[in-house]
Copies of this chain bind each other. A is one copy, B any other.
Amino acid sequence: MNSLEEKTITIKNIYKGRIIELNIEEVLLPNGKNSQREIIKHPGAVAIIALTDQNKIVLVKQYRKALEKNIVEIPAGKLEKGEKPVITAIRELEEETGYTTDHLKYLTSFYTSPGFANELVYLYYTDQLYSLENKKELDEDEFVELLELSLEDTEKLINDQVIHDAKTMYALLYLKLKRLEKNENQ
């Protein structure tokens, strides 16, 4: 028995958009009372830690309307319906960076905002990048600038809150830890 579970009584769909859906769910709490949960349904996403052969991290600068500012993130994108995350990851890497790879390693996955959304991000890693001869087109409403930075360079961007999102900051910690573990084993 799951003593913390909240059973669904009713689901009311408020909005079904291009990317997200909003439902209001009436739930039965563990103490027998009712409450409402505001839930965003999201198709899920991928993000890619990609290192060049000069050991630079491939990043994209992008205007995020929700934040009303540009931020710098690791390449990422939403899953298309029924698409396997690894396929999305290759597609987004190609579209956003002009690189491709045949060595993509799955690292982990995490929910971004479990309090109100089911968005799950699948995180991949590659240090084997090849430049595409023919660049892929971005989505028609997508505009990004490519950056290639050393791990040290990213520190300043974190301090300046230009790098300012969870998946990218997780990725940079991951790389720091990986580097430190490698040094320890040498």
Residues of A within 8 A of B (CB): 2, 4-6, 14-15, 17-20, 22, 24-25, 27, 29-31, 33, 35-40, 42, 45, 61-67, 70-71, 73, 76, 78, 108-119, 121, 140-141, 143-145, 158, 161, 164-167, 169-170, 173-174, 176-177, 180-181, 183-184
Chain B nearest CB, measured from A73 CB (Å): 7
Given A45-B115, A114-B71, decide whether A24 and B14 contact each other with a Cβ distance below 8 A.
Answer: no
Chain B nearest CB, measured from A34 CB (Å): 9
The residues of B that contact A164 with a CB separation of less than 8 Å are: 109-111, 114
25 contacts between A and B (CB under 8 A): A4-B62, A4-B63, A4-B144, A6-B65, A14-B22, A15-B15, A15-B22, A20-B38, A20-B40, A27-B65, A29-B141, A33-B141, A37-B66, A64-B115, A66-B115, A67-B114, A76-B115, A110-B165, A112-B113, A112-B165, A113-B119, A114-B165, A169-B170, A173-B174, A177-B177
The residues of B that contact A184 with a CB separation of less than 8 Å are: 180, 183-184
In Å, the complex CA distance between A33 and B39 comes to 31
The residues of B that contact A173 with a CB separation of less than 8 Å are: 170, 173-174, 177
